[in-house]
Amino acid sequence: MKFRTIRRHFRESFKTLGRNGWMTFASVSAVTVTLLLVGVFVAIMLNLNKVADDLEHDVEMKVYVELAADEASTTALEDQIRETPGVAEVIYSSRDHELEQMISDFGDDLKLYEQSNPLREAFYVKAANPQQTAKVAQTIDEYPNTYEVVYGEGKVEKLFDFLNFGRTAGLVLILALLFTAMFLISNTIRITIVARKNEIGIMKLVGASNSFVRVPFVLEGIWMGILGSIIPILAVVFGYIEFYDYAEPRLRGEMIQILPPVPFLYIVSGLLFFMGIFIGIWGSFMSVRKFLKV
Amino acid sequence: MINMKDVYKKYANGVVAANGLNVKIAPGEFVYVVGPSGAGKSTFIKMMYREEKPTSGEIYVDGTNLVTLKNREVPFVRRKIGVVFQDFKLLPKLTVYENVAFAMEVIEAPSDSIRDRVTEVLDLVGLKSKARMLPTELSGGEQQRVSIARSIVNRPKVVIADEPTGNLDPETSWGIMNVFKDINEQLGTTIVMATHNKDIVNRIRHRVIAIEGGLIVRDEAEGVYGYEI
Ligand SMILES: Nc1ncnc2c1ncn2[C@@H]1O[C@H](COP(=O)(O)OP(=O)(O)O)[C@@H](O)[C@H]1O
Ligand SMILES: [Mg+2]
């Protein structure tokens, strides 16, 4: 294909957008509506995923040290825990510190224990992969000088099950939405191209090759995809910034955080933009294919 | 220029529209194809630019075997043949100028040569002043002129026309015939024209091929129409 032909195709694809006024409008609207849905949904899903991550990463285990352990064996245990595969973080807490914690949690009544502290030293341990907490806990439990490992057994497993279900459901929903979107858009584009079936036939009879007919259609699809992604991108960007400004101050200091607009909105915008282009190309390509056999 | 050997065409519905056609058309000839409705004239014409493929037999146009031609080579053959249709087949959203230019864009001609050549052929068919109009703004005769302009713009060796005057009133038809006459006489272009127009065939004498029931029943050098309708 010569350069002037490529130029011709670009020129032609822009002209056709205008010539087919309402058809362009219908296709662009279909893209807009679906990308708007996809955009809002992806924004919600990614944030829910973030929340799920936050919840997961809040899961930690507490390793109680045997009362009999001396300083050297406690240090040895700490090293052992640190070297355990799958351990991400170990924080030591002395007996005094444990008691302080307890007093601040349950009140000054417990201050009487300051005379003879019955508590054990402890390590707060986080697994690199929170879902491996139970397994890591089991390993640490075997170590000499470990008295007990506590991590909210049962509750944690339920939480993980719930989060995993949520993630899968979200993914399935997004895929279903994408599928519906593709269907809706390719149908709209098909309708607009069926209307041009005769034109395609004439082009072929005059000696146009398949690619000569197809390229302007596909370019047109790209422009429609881009046009259709503008409103959804703007809506998601401004909508999310609004939402973030509202929610972020209220969540300050909480365990659960929402995604900051950067780079999140770049990612979502890019996703919508390229999805628009992809849907446009795919829709035109599939629809025009049927009519090229003349 | 065109050479058909034992061409046989059976449509999917069982109709046999060509039942052993043997024809040779030399370069520069002007040939009428006549016959009653349903005789197989359009099928005969369509097989020359591969809108239809024969069931068996051989068809050569300018040395190319249209029967063994691969689908993706078809466009290249169509560019060497000008085709004029009874229903004009103009692209409705393109102007007169753009419709004619389209045939040159297809062969990837340089844009300044497109401009010169399109202006030239529009002048030839007498439509220079209507270049910016859309097909719907033209009369039938004018639309047919656009279609002819498009068919000759790439200087094909042969122009094939299926009842080009079929939808036109007699006066307009004579105008169209003059265009074909000029193309044939001045440019030496081979012309094959299916027609129902008795007056034209009898007044502007050329070779006449009469088809009935998918068979050539008559082939005369300075022939007459020979049918009453
Ligand atoms: N695409 C087609 N499918 C099936 N039958 C066809 C088709 N085109 C033409 N025919 C049949 O073939 C015969 C010849 O048609 P055609 O070549 O159009 O004749 P003419 O142009 O002389 O009127 C007719 O009986 C017609 O019904
Ligand atoms: Mg016919």
CA distance A221 to chain B (A): 18
Task: Given the cut 0.90, state whether the ipTM is greater than it.
Answer: no
Contact A204, A292 (CB under 8 A): yes
Length of chain B: 229
Whether the CB-CB separation of A193 and A287 falls below 8 Å is answered with yes
Domain range list for chain B: 90-154
Q: Do A205 and B83 touch (CB under 8 A)?
A: yes
pLDDT at residue number B181: 92
- Contact call for residues A218 and A273 (beta carbons, < 8 A): no
Residues 6+ apart with CB under 8 A from B218: B208, B209, B210, B226
pLDDT (tens, 9 = 90+) of chain A, 294 residues, equals: 889 999 999 999 998 888 888 888 888 998 898 889 889 888 888 888 888 888 888 888 999 999 888 889 999 999 999 999 999 999 999 988 988 888 888 888 888 888 888 889 999 999 998 888 888 999 999 998 999 999 888 888 888 888 888 888 888 888 888 787 777 777 776 777 777 888 888 999 998 999 999 999 899 989 999 999 999 999 999 999 999 999 989 988 887 888 999 899 999 999 999 999 988 888 888 778 878 876
Query: Which residue's alpha carbon is at the smallest distance from atom 14 of ligand 1?
Result: B40
- In angstroms, the CA B24 to CA B209 distance is 11
CA dihedral B37, B39, B41, B44 (to 10 degrees): 150
The residue contributing the CA closest to ligand 1 atom 6 is: B11
Q: How confident is the model at residue B27 (pLDDT cuts 50, 70, 90)?
A: very high
Please give the distance, rounded to the nearest whole angstrom, from the Cα atom of residue B13 to the centre of ligand 1.
10
User: Cβ contact (<8 Å) for A209 and B105?
Assistant: no
Closest ligand, as measured to the CA of B35: 1
Ligand closest to CA B33: 1
Residue of B nearest to A9 (CA): B105
- Please state the length of chain A: 294
Closest ligand to Cα B43: 1
When scoring B102, B143, B154, B160 by the number of chain A Cβ atoms within 10 A, the one with the most, hence best to mutate, is B102
In the prediction, which pLDDT does A294 show?
64
Averaged pLDDT score across all residues of chain A: 88
Ligand 1 near B227 CB (within 6 A)? no
Residues of A in contact with B78 (CB under 8 A): 204-207
Any atom of ligand 1 within 6 Å of the Cβ of B4? no
The predicted-structure confidence for A84-132, as pLDDT tens digits, reads as follows: 999 999 999 998 898 888 888 888 888 888 888 888 999 999 999 888 8
Q: Where are the domains of chain A?
A: 3-55+158-291, 60-150
Count residue pairs from A and B with Cβ separation < 8 A: 53
Which residue, B103, B99, B96, is CA-closest to B75? B103
What percent of chain B has a predicted confidence (pLDDT) above 90?
Answer: 79
Q: Which residues of A touch B79 (CB under 8 A)?
A: 207
Ligand nearest to the CA of B38: 1
**Average pLDDT over chain B, rounded to an integer:** 92
Strands B2-10 and B56-61: antiparallel
Position in ligand 1 atom list of the atom nearest CA B44: 17
Three-state secondary structure string covering chain A:
CCHHHHHHHHHHHHHHHHHCHHHHHHHHHHHHHHHHHHHHHHHHHHHHHHHHHHHHHCCCEEEEECCCCCHHHHHHHHHHHHHCCCEEEEEEECHHHHHHHHHHHHCHHHHHHHCCCCCCCEEEEEECCHHHHHHHHHHHHHCCCEEEEECCCCHHHHHHHHHHHHHHHHHHHHHHHHHHHHHHHHHHHHHHHHCCHHHHHHHHHCCCCHHHHHHHHHHHHHHHHHHHHHHHHHHHHHHHHHHHHHHHHHHCCCCCCCCCHHHHHHHHHHHHHHHHHHHHHHHHHHHHHCCCCC
State whether A199 and B92 contact (CB < 8 Å): yes
Residue A229: Cβ within 10 Å count: 27
Check pocket membership of B13 for ligand 1, CB cut-off 6 A.
yes
**Higher-confidence residue: A16 or B27?**
B27
Kindly determine whether residue A4 and residue B111, on different chains, have CB atoms separated by under 8 Å. yes
Q: Is B38 close to ligand 1, i.e. is its CB under 6 Å away?
A: yes
Q: Mention every residue, 6+ apart, whose C-beta is less than 8 A from residue B229.
A: B36, B196, B198
- What per-residue confidence (pLDDT) applies to B6? 95
Instruction: Give residue B17 CA to ligand 1 midpoint distance, Å.
Output: 6
Sequence-ordered list of residues with C-beta below 8 angstroms from that of B83, at least 6 positions apart, any chain: A205, A206, B49, B151, B159, B160, B161, B162
Rounded to an integer, what distance in angstroms lies between the CA atom of residue B15 and that of residue B203? 34
Q: Which of A206, A208, A209 sits opposite B150 (nearest CB)?
A: A206
Judge whether A208 is closer than 8 Å to chain B, CB to CB.
Answer: yes
According to the model, what pLDDT value does residue B166 have?
87
A60-150 maps to which CATH number?
A: 3.30.70.3040
- Residue B117 Cβ contacting ligand 1 at under 6 Å: no
- Which pLDDT score, from 0 to 100, does residue B122 have? 94
Asked whether the beta carbons of residue B106 and residue A2 sit closer than 8 angstroms, the reply is no
Chain A nearest C-alpha distance from B73 (Å)? 9
HSE-up of residue B14 (Cα within 13 Å, Cβ side): 0
Longest dimension (CA), chain B: 49
pLDDT confidence bin for B229, thresholds 50/70/90:
low
Chain B residues in contact with A206 (beta carbon < 8 A): 78, 83, 102-103, 106, 150
Question: E strands along B166-227, which residues?
Answer: 190-194, 207-212, 215-220
Q: How far apart are CA B224 and CA A21, in angstroms?
A: 51
Q: In this predicted structure, what is the pLDDT of residue A131? A: 85
**In this predicted model, what pLDDT tens digit does every residue of B53-105 receive, in sequence order?**
999 999 999 899 999 999 889 988 888 899 999 899 999 999 999 999 999 99
Per-residue pLDDT tens digits for B133-175 = 999 999 998 999 999 999 999 999 999 999 999 888 888 889 8
**Which residues of chain A are within 8 Å of residue B51 when distances are taken between CB atoms?**
205, 294
Mutation target for B interface from A3, A23, A200, A206: give the one with most B CBs within 10 A: A206
Q: What share of chain B is helix, strand, coil (3-state, %, to 5)?
A: 35, 25, 40
The rounded distance, in Å, linking the Cα atoms of B85 and B148 is 9
- What is the rounded CA–CA span in Å between residue A11 and residue A30? 24
